[in-house]
Structure 1
Amino acid sequence: MSAIPMMVDLAGKRTVVVGGGVVAEKRVKTLNKKGVFITLISPSLTSTLKCMIDDEKISWKKKRFSEEDVIDAFAVVIATNDLEVNEMALQAASQVPLINYAPDVDRGNFSIPAYFSRGKLTISVSTEGASPMLTARIKADLEKGFEDDYGQYVDFLYECRQQIKRSSLPKVEKQALLKHLLQDTYKSPDQQKIFKKQLETIAEGEGVT
């Protein structure tokens, strides 16, 4: 697969996972972290997936896969341990926009990389299946550099950027302000409050709408 990293919003899109084992569980947990509602197709499930159903995070059709299960689906993940079922699902999903084929990622058209989020910040890692263990190690190393409160800093940058964009400041001054905000000092909530007050003063004087 010659893959290009992309961000896809699956909210409100029909997403089907064929399979109920450990691999399917991993895919479901990854997708569910972003609020994707999933329909599972499988005669049986892992205990973790059953708990997710009890919590109404996913729905389950307790059955063997059939072609009608992927009608109108926007994304399909095929992850059973039955080669015949996998092949049947892959053929049935030929017109589905997004297909993830767990046994061989090259036979689908999208993969689900390891990732972590801090608010609006999302960082993903992929070795395109070459070494899942290396992917996990790199992800763990990266997470150490972005603590849980990093999302609050990103939110601060977003709010300031929106206000600066709306201002009547010259473009060069807008860019200078945005670059200035990348200094580590603004990771401090106290410094963020100070800058926001300064930005309000700029807004009043420069006509932020």
Structure 2
Amino acid sequence: MNTPPYPVMLNLGGRPCLVVGDGREAEPKVRELEAAGARVTWLRRPWQPGDLAGYFLAIAADDDRSHNAAIHAEALRCNVLFNALDDPPHCQFYFPSVHRQGDLVIAVSTNGKCPALAVRIKERLAAQYGPEYAKFLTLAASLRQKIAAAFPQFETRKRVWYALVDAIRLERTQTHA
């Protein structure tokens, strides 16, 4: 990737996604895609030209990387988002290291340069953002429409939200640490 990637949270609900290969990371990627609501096909046989037709996203998850360049080229032709695990030159996107607490999602990426660093940074952040943040987000979601109705001007509403977030002190307890 020559240009810096654009960070985004991608809604895969109902989207057709393909995992090619049977490497050590294939099954976890299948599970992650399914958890995100994707319609997943897991091709455990070697890739063949034409396999990407009709897919929104594809992942090469085989320990044998010999087909990655060809799969990547087909993905570009077919407008399929593509990632070849642990092969950054053949990726259109990278998988960040992710920490989830309810609706709070913290994703850390090194753009494929050093995934171990992303994992360590994510672990440090995870120690700071525990279940209390998920609870706060549930409360914030319940207030969202009320605040929007009470403060119809965007800039005013923005100030109210920041004041609310800044006023609340979420503390980790020993049971969460």
Q: TM-score range by the shorter chain?
A: 0.7 to 0.9
Match of 1:191 in 2: none
Q: Distance in 2 between matches of 1:180 and 1:91?
A: 49
Q: Deviations over 1:1-42 (max 9, x none)?
A: 221211211111110011111132343344344333321111
* Alignment of structure 1 residues 1-209 onto 2, 5 Å: 1=1, 2-42=4-44, 63-94=45-76, 95-167=78-150, 174-182=157-165, 183-185=167-169, 187=170
- Shift in Å, 1:130: 2.1
- Shift in Å, 1:138: 0.7
* Letter matched to residue 70 of structure 1: L
- Shift in Å, 1:118: 1.9
- Shift in Å, 1:153: 0.6
Q: Distance in 2 between matches of 1:104 and 1:168?
A: 48
TM-score (norm 1): 0.69
Contact 1:79 / 1:86 at 8 angstroms: preserved in 2? no
Richer in helix (by share)? 1
Match of 2:174 in 1: none
Name the larger-Rg structure.
1
TM-score (norm 2): 0.80
Contact 2:94 / 2:112 at 8 angstroms: preserved in 1? no
- Shift in Å, 1:126: 0.8
Q: Distance in 1 between matches of 2:129 and 2:102?
A: 11
* Letter matched to residue 64 of structure 1: P
Which stretch of the first structure deviates more once superposed, 69-78 or 113-122? 113-122
* Letter matched to residue 92 of structure 1: E
Contact 1:115 / 1:139 at 8 angstroms: preserved in 2? yes
- Shift in Å, 1:169: 6.3
Contact 2:97 / 2:122 at 8 angstroms: preserved in 1? yes
Contact 1:76 / 1:96 at 8 angstroms: preserved in 2? no
- Shift in Å, 1:172: 6.5
Equivalent residues, number: 167
Q: Deviations over 1:154-181 (max 9, x none)?
A: 1211221221112266666544432332
Structure 2: runs of 5+ lacking an equivalent: 172-177
Q: Distance in 2 between matches of 1:177 and 1:87?
A: 50
Q: Deviations over 1:61-99 (max 9, x none)?
A: xx3322332111000111212233333423332313311
RMSD: 2.5
